[in-house]
Structure 1
């Protein structure tokens, strides 16, 4: 019996941002071209579904700077590491966000959903 989660992942469209990968070898997977922000903008415009970025702070930073992020789902985990990579790096322009939902998991993780206002900046120009 096939796992329904695996079947769903195999069926949905997936996009990979890579400087080296040419053949992803996974069904319904497209490697994005050199002009990443244009490619992601095209993917967003062509779909009614939400586009989710997983596992790449560097990619996400590029998309934030290009104004391609409409919603953030930020998890606050009750753990102090003392160091690590920052999602919002020095030099990024300010952004006004509106909290639209908060969920608390049984382990105490807070899942906060924030929307960007129309235009995405809200607090001034990034330039």
Structure 2
């Protein structure tokens, strides 16, 4: 059994919508798409490559799955991250999707909490969630996330879908690592902890790029 790890880009005000392109997700009239691109440096690329290449499985919502399925199968297979993404199991949460055209994809059943618990139990290594905002709300509600690996970008967007939306169940997390990149991105790693205050974990590890 391995942990479920959320790896996501967020703005300083917590927005995770339409990170790579303007047309990725225009819901709510969001027109700031592609906001991460000016900040993607070698460290950001390396962290994302390591997170994907080292995963045991991917867990994706419908929108993110369809975006990935249109691009990753046609990537450079000499890239370890691309090869790993194409080869590993990909579990998809969707009520409407029928065509799972990306190799090694599995559609999860309606009882999502139970299905995800089963995936975690069967996966050796990390089950990684990328993007997938709607799915994340369910995972957070059922306390299924073991680790958040958040790349916090130094800009304020002012609107858009947020990782932790209003009404999210209160949780306590432990900051275990902090890393900065040349472009000013902070890579913060948080682990789940008990709801009570717990000061026995010590200070987080801090490193510079």
Inter-partner Cα distance in structure 1 for 2:105 and 2:172: 33
Instruction: State whether structure 2 residue 86 is matched by structure 1 residue 10.
Output: yes
CA-to-aligned-CA distance 1:11-64 (integer Å, 9 cap, x gap): 111111111112311111111111111111100011121111112111101001
* Aligned counterpart, 1:69: 145
Inter-partner Cα distance in structure 2 for 1:116 and 1:16: 23
Instruction: State whether structure 2 residue 153 is matched by structure 1 residue 80.
Output: no
* Aligned counterpart, 2:102: 26
1:45-56 equivalences in 2 (<5 Å):
45-56=121-132
Structure 1: gaps (5+ residues): none
Q: Which moved more, 1:16-25 or 1:103-112?
A: 16-25
- Which has the larger share of helix? 2
Counterpart of 1:37 in 2: which secondary structure?
A: helix
* Aligned counterpart, 1:109: 185
Higher RCO by CA contacts (8 Å cutoff, separation 6 or greater): 2
Give the C-alpha shift of residue 87 in structure 1. Answer: 1.7
Task: Find runs of 4+ consecutive structure 1 residues off by over 3 angstroms.
Answer: none
* Aligned counterpart, 1:122: 195
Which TM-score applies when normalising by structure 2?
A: 0.54
* Aligned counterpart, 2:116: 40
Give the C-alpha shift of residue 78 in structure 1. Answer: 0.7
Inter-partner Cα distance in structure 2 for 1:92 and 1:55: 17
Give the C-alpha shift of residue 110 in structure 1. Answer: 0.1
The alignment covers a number of residue pairs equal to: 121
Structure 2: gaps (5+ residues): 1-75, 197-209
